[in-house]
Amino acid sequence: MFTPGEIRAGLIGSWQLLKGDPRGMTYFDTSIEGFFRSFWVFVLLLVPFAISIGGEYKMEIAKFADPRGFPTIFYIVMQAIAYLVMWFAFPAVLALLARPLGIAERYVPYIVARNWTSTIGTLVYLVPTLLFLADLLSMKALSGHLLFALLFNLYYSFVVTRIAAGTPIGFSIGLVMLDFVLTLLVNTVVERLIGI
């Protein structure tokens, strides 16, 4: 896992990138070891992930004809698997495409930055979900907040891609959309397996 100093540096770097400051990259360990260690960020986000699943579960239950028949355990297990797959799908696909796309030299710093900046991206989803779980936000209002969170994360991913991968605007948009499509694909497969 990480030391408090590493977490602090990762958060500062993520915040700097959100502001569009390339100096944010200096806070990340972009060595090969730092690359593999950055994937442990998913452990830091397990609690926000659990809260997010709680919010989604509450929404699904509300739409389910008979809540007692909802496959709760299977739902939680499949969401956990999806969470892991989403963490590794884009880096794995991009590892195969990096050289043909001409970004092999920037692949490691880009993925490190992507992994660390997911901390801030996740927080944007966390606050409205907590309010929803506490019955302080309606399902309709939550949907609006989640749409905002999605748009924020797409923009943030674009900024991170531009800086960390050093790619032109169109290229950066393409990488962000590849990541987004892979996430949608994983979610769609999970939903069909669960039957919701």
For 18-60, what is each residue's pLDDT tens digit?
999 999 999 999 999 999 999 999 999 999 999 999 998 888 8
What pLDDT does residue 189 have? Answer: 85
**Sign of the CA dihedral 42, 47, 48, 54?**
positive
pLDDT tens digits for 123-152? 999 999 999 999 999 988 999 999 999 999
123: its two tokens:
């927080």
pLDDT band at 196 (very low <50, low <70, confident <90, very high): low
**Phi/psi zone of residue 66: left (φ > 0), alpha (ψ -120 to 50 degrees), beta?**
beta
Nearest to 82 by CA among 9, 161, 5, 185: 185
Q: What share of the chain is helix, strand, coil (3-state, %, to 5)?
A: 85, 0, 15
Task: Find tokens 């531009």 and name the residue.
Answer: 162
Contact 182, 90 (CB under 8 A): yes
What SS3 state is found at 57? helix
Model confidence at 176, pLDDT cuts 50, 70, 90, reads very high
**Domain limits of the chain?**
4-194
Predicted local distance difference test score (pLDDT) of residue 60: 81
Contact 165, 22 (CB under 8 A): no
Q: Which range, 10-14, 54-58, 81-85, 120-124, is most confident? A: 10-14
